[in-house]
Structure 1
Amino acid sequence: MARASTRTNGDTRKAVNRRAAAQPNEERPDRERRKEAPPVDPRALEALVEALDAARRGDFSVRLSKRRKGVLGDVAASYNELVETNERMTKELVRIARVIGREGRMTERASLPGAEGGWETSVGSINSLIGDLVRPTTEVGRVLNAVAEGDLSQKMALTIEGQPVKGEFLRIGTTVNTMVEQLSSFADEVTRVAREVGTEGKLGGQAEVKGVSGTWRDLTENVNLMASNLTDQVR
């Protein structure tokens, strides 16, 4: 009986050992896992701290070594990718500021190939801001070009995608539209007085341009003075 018990106990211990060997690492005791973990290289941690400190100061030129393996290698790869994206974003912002602000290429937009998540949102927001700033400038140019060609029917749009413009955009748009309205009104009145006095023979005609001041008023008064002089000469 003793021999049978000994064999049974031995078989049991072997079975337990086999099951323990078959267990995955996460199910083994912490002490065993700690024995298997590779030692951390202090120099790698120092390099990581220095790189993070450089990035904090806005220096995205520092890179971590790609030769490390394991977790430190993964950290280095992720960090390098992060600062590379930051560096590309910075260069793109500098480029877009130059080509739009200095070179006047209003149709240019920011681009960051491969951008996802917050990066993609940032690029989209920048381009939306550029579009909102460029649109009033383009509108002013369109209206002024029409005025230069003698078309006084054009006005700046005071809505953007169905929403009314506000702030400085509204002030600029209102000013430009008022200028065009005054030009149009003045031109209409001068044409009317010239036709009545010069063509139809209706003496005593006077131009009436409402709400004008400064040079506009001076021009209106000069036209009326000219019409009065013509009337006096005929009479």
Structure 2
Amino acid sequence: GTWKDLTDSVNTAFRNLTGQVRNIAQVTTAVANGDLSQKVTVDVSGEMLKLKNTVNTMVDQLSSFADQVTRMARDVGTEGRLGGQARVDGVSGTWKELTDSVNLMANNLTMQVRNISQVTTAVARGDLSQKIGVDARGEILELKNTINTMVDQLSAFADQVTRVARDVGTEGRLGGQAQVPGVAGVWRDLTESVNGMAGNLTGQVRNIAQVATAVARGDLSQKITVDARGEILELKNTLNTMVDQLSSFAQEVTRVAREVGTEGILGGQAEVQGVSGTWKDLTQSVNFMANNLTIQVRNIAEVTTAVAKGDLSKKITVDAKGEILELVTTVNTMVDQLSSFAEQVTRVAREVGTEGILGG
């Protein structure tokens, strides 16, 4: 009767409630375990329907939130795509705060990475005028400070190297050194290499200039002694060879001049090994002069000696010019006059002393 109907109704109500609660528990447990693939599917009505819809909406929102966060993490962390934002419609409260936090994190990371990329790209292109200005904290701040310090050091390095190169290569100011405080590793090695190059070049050029200046002043006692390699070594050897040849040339010309002009030793020749061009021409000119002078003086000496010995049959025949030609002409005229005088004296002596012809 009625009691049985009441009992059946109560049992049906309990069975329905059991199925509904267990389905809701199953879904919420799955959510708690990170499984967002399940939804409440049991038939319900009234407030249980509201609970079902609320739980299913929660699952949808959590699923959407998880999908968006996963997409953001994959885009940024795996594929390196910046600028993305999580879009989870209809969330509020903690879920909205979480979504906003994720988007803020992604936006900050985007600005930081892009600013860092902008500055490092500028450095790679040789533009050292840019610095990282984005706000950062923690390890990103450390990275920002490291890169900005790197830019400062590279800028100082570039400025110093440019200054040294300009001083040495353009303005000819030697002795300068690059001063880059705080650098280490490769940058310190590069700075030391530039300074080593500038120091070597300064020593080499100054030694070469010292010797060249000495040569210009007539001092052939100095040689280039600085260590050198490559083309600088070739220049060193060339200048030292030039000094040797000039020294030999000067010694030989001095010897010939002393022998001819001071000691009266004729016939000498300057012997300068290995010279060419102007130095060979000068040597040949000196030897030609000495040879001509030898021939001229010897011919003049031969004729004057013959005159001194009473032989008036000889005349100076050597080619001559200038004052030597005047001397040749004078001596030959003297010979002619002496010869004429001798002939006249002989004639008069013969006529008077031998033939008795007086009045000649």
Amino acid at match of 1:99: D
Task: Map 1:65-104 onto structure 2 (within 5 A).
Answer: 65=133, 67-104=135-172
In 1, the alpha carbon distance for the partners of 2:217 and 2:120 equals 59
Preserved CA contact (<8 Å) 1:92 1:110: yes
Task: Work out which of the residue numbers 274, 283, 296 in structure 2 matches 1:233.
Answer: 296
Instruction: Measure, in 1, the Cα distance between the counterparts of 2:293 and 2:126.
Output: 75
Alignment match of 2:286 (pick from 214, 223, 227): 223
Secondary structure of residue in 2 paired with 1:85: helix
Aligned to 2:244: 181
How big is the shift at 1:136? Answer: 2.6
Matched position secondary structure for 2:177: coil
AA aligned to 1:218 is D
Q: Do the aligned partners of residues 231 and 52 (structure 1) sit closer, same or farther apart at CA in structure 2, a change above 3 Å counting?
A: closer
| CA distance 1:45–1:232, shift in 2 (3 Å) | closer
Q: Please say if residues 116 and 132 of structure 2, whose CA atoms lie closer than 8 Å, have aligned partners that are also in contact.
A: yes
- CA drift of 1:66 comes to 6.4
2:215 is the counterpart of 1:147: yes
Distance 2:186 2:295 in 1: 77
> What amino acid is the match of 1:201?
G
> Aligned partners of 1:166, 1:95: CA distance in 2, in Å?
25
Match of 2:200 among 115, 126, 132: 132
Q: Would you say 1:208 and 2:271 are equivalent positions?
A: yes
**Structure 1 vs Structure 2 CA RMSD:** 2.2
For the pair 1:61 / 2:129, whether they are aligned, the reply is yes
**Partners of 1:230 and 1:102 in 2: how far apart?**
52
Helix, strand or coil at the partner of 1:175: helix
Q: CA deviation at 1:67?
A: 4.1
Counterpart residue identity of residue 281, structure 2: D
Please, which moves more after superposition, 50-59 or 86-95?
50-59
Q: SS of 2:276's equivalent?
A: coil
Q: Any conservation in 1 of the 2:115–2:134 contact (CA below 8 Å)?
A: no
Larger radius of gyration: 2
Instruction: Provide the residue aligned with 1:6 in structure 2.
Output: none
RCO comparison, higher one (Cα < 8 Å, 6+): 1
Question: Could you report, residue by residue, the CA deviation over 1:150-185 in whole angstroms, capped at 9, with x for unpaired residues?
Answer: 11111112x52xxxx432122111111111111111
Q: 1:43, 1:198 → 2: CA distance? A: 92
- Whether the aligned pair in 2 keeps the contact of 1:112 and 1:123 (CA below 8 Å) is yes
Matched, 1:119 2:151: no
Instruction: Classify the secondary structure of the residue corresponding to 1:107.
Output: coil
Q: Is the CA contact 1:152–1:180 (under 8 Å) kept in the aligned structure 2?
A: yes
Task: Read off the aligned partner of 2:273 and give its amino acid letter.
Answer: K
Which blocks of at least 5 consecutive residues in structure 2 are unaligned? 1-97, 99-103, 299-360
Structure 2 counterpart SS, 1:146: helix
Q: What is residue 41 of structure 2 aligned with on the other side?
A: none
Contact 1:66 1:77 in 2 (8 A): no
Change (3 A) 1:52 1:227: closer
Contact 1:66–1:73 (8 Å) recurs in 2:
no
CA distance in 2, matches of 1:64, 1:215: 65
| Matched letter for residue 234 of structure 1 | V
Aligned-partner residue type, residue 169 of structure 1: I
TM-score, L = length of structure 2: 0.50
Q: What TM-score, normalized by structure 1, do the two folds share?
A: 0.75
* Cα displacement (A) at 1:141: 0.7
> What are the Cα deviations for residues 23-67 of structure 1, in whole angstroms up to 9, with x where unaligned?
xxxxxxxxxxxx9xx945232232222222222222222222264
Give the letter for the 1:92 counterpart.
Q
Matched to 1:76, the amino acid is: K
Identify the match of residue 170 of structure 1 among 233, 249, 255. Answer: 233
How many angstroms apart in 2 are the aligned matches of 1:229 and 1:90? 66
Report the Cα offset of residue 98 of structure 1. Answer: 1.1
Separation of aligned partners in 1, 2:249 and 2:179: 47
Query: For 1:203 and 1:57, how far apart are their aligned partners in 2?
Result: 76
Hey, which bits of structure 1, 4+ residues long, moved more than 3 A? none
